[in-house]
Every structure is written in C-alpha cells, then in structure tokens.
C-alpha cells in the first residue's frame, strides 16, 4: 500500500546535461577571447541568430589567436553551424 507521500513522488527522466554545460563553458571562453581581441559579442543573440553567430565565428576563425580559432571551431561544431 502506498502512503500519500509516495503517490505524489514523480521520477524525472535522466537528462545528460554535460553537453549543455560544455557548450556554455565554451561560449564563456569564446566571449572573453573575443573581448580580448576587441570584439564584443551579444551571447543571447549569438545563441538565437545563426547568421550573427556565423559572422563572429568567422571573425574568430580569421584571428591571429590560435586559442580563439580552436574555441570557435569547437563552438561551431557544437552548434552545428556551417562556415560561410
């Protein structure tokens, strides 16, 4: 027999958030690397506007900073955005 408390408990399905966290950390890294180059990126727009994101990813890809180029490539892969 179930107690009233047991019947109200609901098990949430397992959700792997490691990919989401990894992308968020990569976005933070990207934002600060871009700022170091003098480019300010609106990350809300970056996440919601693929054309805007592609523009800044292309700037990063052309940068002299190897770290920024690697970060941009990783984000591009995670977001599924093609280079333009």
23 domain-assigned? yes
Rounded mean pLDDT of 10-19? Answer: 57
- Has residue 18 got a pLDDT over 60? yes
Can you give the pLDDT at residue 15? Answer: 47
Structural domain that includes position 64: 18-79
pTM: 0.71
The region, left, alpha or beta by phi > 0 then psi within -120 to 50, assigned to residue 14 is: beta
Total domains in the chain come to 1
Q: What is the pLDDT of residues 33-42, one digit of tens each?
A: 999 999 999 9
7 domain-assigned? no
- Has residue 11 got a pLDDT over 60? no
Instruction: Pick the closest to residue 56 from 64, 67, 75, 66 (CA basis).
Output: 75
- Has residue 5 got a pLDDT over 90? no
Can you give the pLDDT at residue 13? Answer: 53
- Has residue 16 got a pLDDT over 80? no
């Amino acid at each position: 027999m179930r107690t009233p408390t047991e019947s109200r408990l609901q098990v949430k399905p397992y959700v792997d958030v490691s990919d989401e966290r990894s992308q968020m950390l990569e976005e933070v890294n990207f934002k600060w690397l871009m700022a170091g180059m003098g480019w300010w990126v609106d990350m809300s727009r970056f996440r919601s506007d693929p054309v805007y994101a592609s523009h800044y990813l292309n700037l990063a890809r052309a940068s002299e900073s190897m770290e920024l180029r690697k970060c941009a490539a990783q984000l591009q892969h995670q977001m599924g955005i093609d280079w333009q």
